[in-house]
Structure 1
Amino acid sequence: MTRTEQPVRAAGRPRSERAERAIVEATLDLLAAESGVAGVSIEAVAARAGVGKTTIYRRWPNKEALIVHALGEAKAPMVEPSGGSVRGDLLELARTIGAERQRKYARCFWNVVGGAEKHPELYARYRQDVIEPRREVIRGVLRRGVERGELRADLDLEIGVMMFVGTLANRTPQEPFPEGHAEAVVDTLLRGIGAPGA
């Protein structure tokens, strides 16, 4: 090869991207196991992903940061709904949450929530970085509903969010939503928080 010739990169993802994907998947696999958070360590992730520990530490400073990043990758994007109506927007969000329950790594989230008492810092960071941005999307739907007169003017947004999320999160990942569950949840909620006559 002459000086002017450049090596040809092999087709496919760059090595660093492949390594990061392998690390994230290894973290989620370990987190989904029966031992949950306790079974995740930098050493175990490195061994499962086939990378060195330094490769992980170059990207994440500790186990907690790695787990939170992996959980964020596993969650379906909570896209802003179309904005046509409160009912339509809440149905979009409810279906997104329902679809997540069928994903491979749904058990990871249960293991983190179930381990909150033993791992409070991890749970706090998970809530802040992964859950709170998603709840802000729901909060925005309710806020717009109040502004447009579709929802009660005195609605407590935080209670509204908790009522919506709570009815969708009370089943284990092994229990799929029955047909029409999203519609039943949204319509029941709106009977309580909808503006009179709306």
Structure 2
Amino acid sequence: MLRADEAIIEATLDLLAEGSSIETLSIEAIAARAGVGKATIYRRWPGKDALLIDALRRLKGIQPQPAGHSVRDDLVLLVGAVGHNIDPRAAKIMPCLVPEVNRSPDHFQLYQNIIEPRRKLMREVLRRGVATGELRADLDIELTMALLTGPMLIQRLLRWHPELDDRILPERIVDNVLDGIRTR
């Protein structure tokens, strides 16, 4: 049972990495690549979107869990996970998904379903910082999340500035944003 699940997820990611778009990816192609019947897939997932969510979540890896001791340290952990994928296929898959997410409301919603748990964690950390008085009471949580994640995502996805050191970039981003949102 677990072997079939793994084979199906791997086949989905392989096909995406090889250039299949979300639109052209079919349950038939996934089943053929995984060496299973279509019924095997449908017993596990109600449709292609549910399978894609699981496959792309696998691609993103395990969501980091903040320790809850320091707002700064928790934000560094979460920002460090932005755009960080343990699977090398992600470098081929993720850039190809951006146009599809922008073109299709269904694919946009699929993307939102994948990243919302990660955003929820960051919201919780920021709200905790406001509640403890570490961060300003008038903090715009959603804008702050964009300020924290945007630079990391653009650097990881596009290598926008090749001289930036990815190992310390999360700390630099968090420290610079915190300078503007801490209580004074």
TM-score bracket, shorter-length normalisation: 0.7 to 0.9
Structure 1 vs Structure 2: percent identity of aligned residues? 45
State the alpha-carbon separation in 2 of the partners of residues 193 and 149 from structure 1. Answer: 11
Matching residue within 5, 15, 25 for 1:40: 25
Map of 2:182 onto structure 1: 194
The range that moved more, 131-140 or 101-110, is: 101-110
TM-superposition CA deviations, 1:24-79 (whole Å, max 9, x none):
01111112233432341111111111111111111222222211121122222223
TM-score scaled to structure 2, two decimals? Answer: 0.87
Question: How many pairs are equivalent?
Answer: 179
- Bigger radius of gyration among the two: 1
Name whichever structure is richer in helix by fraction.
Answer: 2
1:183 to partner: Cα distance: 1.3
Matching residue within 34, 43, 46 for 1:61: 46
Map of 2:6 onto structure 1: 21
User: Which residues in structure 2 correspond to 1:91-170 (within 5 Å)?
Assistant: 91-97=76-82, 100-107=84-91, 108-128=93-113, 130-170=114-154
1:161 to partner: Cα distance: 1.2
State the alpha-carbon separation in 2 of the partners of residues 194 and 80 from structure 1. Answer: 23
**Counterpart amino acid of residue 152 in structure 2:** L
Runs (5+) with no aligned partner, structure 1: 1-15
Question: Root-mean-square deviation (CA), in Å?
Answer: 2.0
Matching residue within 68, 80, 83 for 2:65: 80
The range that moved more, 132-141 or 27-36, is: 27-36
**Counterpart amino acid of residue 171 in structure 2:** E
Change (3 A) 1:52 1:174: farther
TM-superposition CA deviations, 1:96-147 (whole Å, max 9, x none):
336x24532323333323211333213203312x211110000011000111
State the alpha-carbon separation in 1 of the partners of residues 51 and 130 from structure 2. Answer: 38
State the alpha-carbon separation in 2 of the partners of residues 66 and 145 from structure 1. Answer: 36
**8 Å Cα contact 2:11/2:34 also seen in 1:** yes
State the alpha-carbon separation in 1 of the partners of residues 17 and 125 from structure 2. Answer: 32
Change (3 A) 1:30 1:171: farther
**8 Å Cα contact 1:27/1:70 also seen in 2:** yes
Map of 2:34 onto structure 1: 49
1:173 to partner: Cα distance: 4.1
State the alpha-carbon separation in 2 of the partners of residues 22 and 169 from structure 1. Answer: 29
State the alpha-carbon separation in 1 of the partners of residues 177 and 150 from structure 2. Answer: 11
**Counterpart amino acid of residue 154 in structure 1:** D
TM-score scaled to structure 1, two decimals? Answer: 0.81
**8 Å Cα contact 1:71/1:109 also seen in 2:** no
